[in-house]
Amino acid sequence: MDTYDLITRNAEEVVTEEELEELADDPDGKRAYVGYEPSGVLHLGHLLTANKLIDLQEAGMEVVVLLADVHAHLNDKGTFEEIRETAEQMKAQFIAYGLEEDQTEFVYGSEFQLDEEYVLDLHELEVSTTLNRAQRAMAEIQGGETAKVSHVVYPLMQTLDIEYLDLDLAVGGLDQRKVHMLAREELPELGYDVRPALHTPIVADLTSGEGKMSSSEGVTISMEDSTEDLEEKVNSAFCPPTRDPEGDLENPVLELFEYHVFPRFDEIVVERPEKYGGDLTYEAYESLAEDLESGELHPADAKSTLASYLDELIAPGREKLRELRS
């Protein structure tokens, strides 16, 4: 796999392709980031972007993880003391999950977001950005909550983070797209360069195949889950043997194979008794998806295999959580 393909693997969107191609030509030492609100135990939503950070490290890039304590406080996620305690747990979980510690810089937002220069730039953005534009940027992240002043300041700070962390690439889920587009519009107004952005997909709700998997509603998988919990959740997942002809539903089991399992394992082995055809081995996601649709791979076998590989991925983080809490 060449460097550009590795950087963009499983990306839903890149902005822009030309900028990413230029970055891929000389990735060594370039800096990419994802920002996370320290709001709880890592779940598969966090880990989807973490998989991309691991790809970027493999490509030679340095990774910055913003532990966004100020953002979390603006989003009413607790006191700074509570938020920072959670952030330290998240940091340990990311390293346990597979981020290279010597290639990963963890930064608290409060380390630079309260500095005078940053605050004055933030006020400049507040003057130049309409209330409607800021609300549009925050809408998907905010959800159905009634908008507060803090909600519209939030995306303006994300815009400045890209400059103040000295980044070459911004990474986030597709729900961050409007924020990154705001940054492309507004940073030049402050005399700063725009940076390319890479957006990872949003995995569908585990039980319905609709919407998105969320830790606040519905079922999600986290590093807190035991092996038994994980097996129960995956076994109850929506997994039709054929694609939805209307295109309205996704298959979350296949999505988890595509975005979480295949990027981390060279081959996937589905263990089956000989009377059911014996083991199946896959080196590419597409082959597994085709076998599920053709009937060669039964949904129950796909689920049990998925649960086993996901368990292997989150086990180190689960153990780290136990250590931190003991």
The mean pLDDT value for 226-253 works out to: 87
**Model confidence at 162: pLDDT above 90:** yes
pLDDT at residue 210 in the model:
84
The mean pLDDT value for 239-264 works out to: 86
261 in any annotated domain: yes
278 in any annotated domain: yes
CATH number of the domain that residue 193 is part of:
3.40.50.620
Question: E-assigned strands of the chain?
Answer: 13-15, 31-36, 62-67, 104-108, 169-173, 197-200, 268-270, 280-282
Q: Extract the tokens encoding 164.
A: 């103040």
Residue 171 · residue 34 · CB < 8 Å: yes
Q: Extract the tokens encoding 181.
A: 């587009």
Residue 317, domain extent = 227-325
pLDDT at residue 208 in the model:
86
Q: Check whether residue 68 and residue 118 sit in a common domain.
A: yes
**Model confidence at 216: pLDDT above 70:** no
Q: Give the total number of structural domains in the chain.
A: 2
Residue 50 · residue 44 · CB < 8 Å: no
pLDDT at residue 139 in the model:
76
Q: Check whether residue 251 and residue 115 sit in a common domain.
A: no
183, 200, 217: which is the final residue of a domain?
200
Work out the end-to-end distance of the chain between its first and last CA atoms, rounded to an integer number of angstroms: 42
Q: How far is CA 159 from the centre of its chain?
A: 18
**Model confidence at 225: pLDDT above 80:** yes
Q: 54-76: b or e for each residue (b if 16 or more CB lie within 10 Å)?
A: bbbbbbbbbbbbbbbbbbbbbbe
Over the chain, what is the mean pLDDT?
93
The mean pLDDT value for 214-234 works out to: 85
Q: Check whether residue 276 and residue 177 sit in a common domain.
A: no
The mean pLDDT value for 59-87 works out to: 95
Q: Check whether residue 43 and residue 186 sit in a common domain.
A: yes
Q: 196-218: b or e for each residue (b if 16 or more CB lie within 10 Å)?
A: bbbbbbbbbbbeebeebbbbeee
Please tell me the distance from the alpha carbon of residue 198 to that of residue 238, in angstroms, as a whole number.
Answer: 28
**Model confidence at 39: pLDDT above 90:** no
The mean pLDDT value for 28-40 works out to: 94
Single-letter amino acid, residue 228: E
Q: Check whether residue 188 and residue 296 sit in a common domain.
A: no
Closest CA to 122 of 157, 148, 161, 167: 157
Q: Check whether residue 171 and residue 242 sit in a common domain.
A: no
**Reported confidence tier of residue 46, pLDDT bands at 50, 70, 90:** very high
CATH number of the domain that residue 235 is part of:
1.10.240.10
Closest CA to 141 of 74, 194, 84, 85: 74
Q: What is the pLDDT of residues 85-123, one digit of tens each?
A: 999 999 999 999 999 999 999 999 999 999 999 999 999
Give the Å distances, CA to CA, from 87 to 39, 223, 321: 8, 15, 12
152 in any annotated domain: yes
pLDDT at residue 248 in the model:
65
Please tell me the distance from the alpha carbon of residue 111 to that of residue 96, in angstroms, as a whole number.
Answer: 24
Residue 154 · residue 112 · CB < 8 Å: no
pLDDT above 90 covers what percent of the chain? Answer: 82
The mean pLDDT value for 166-178 works out to: 96
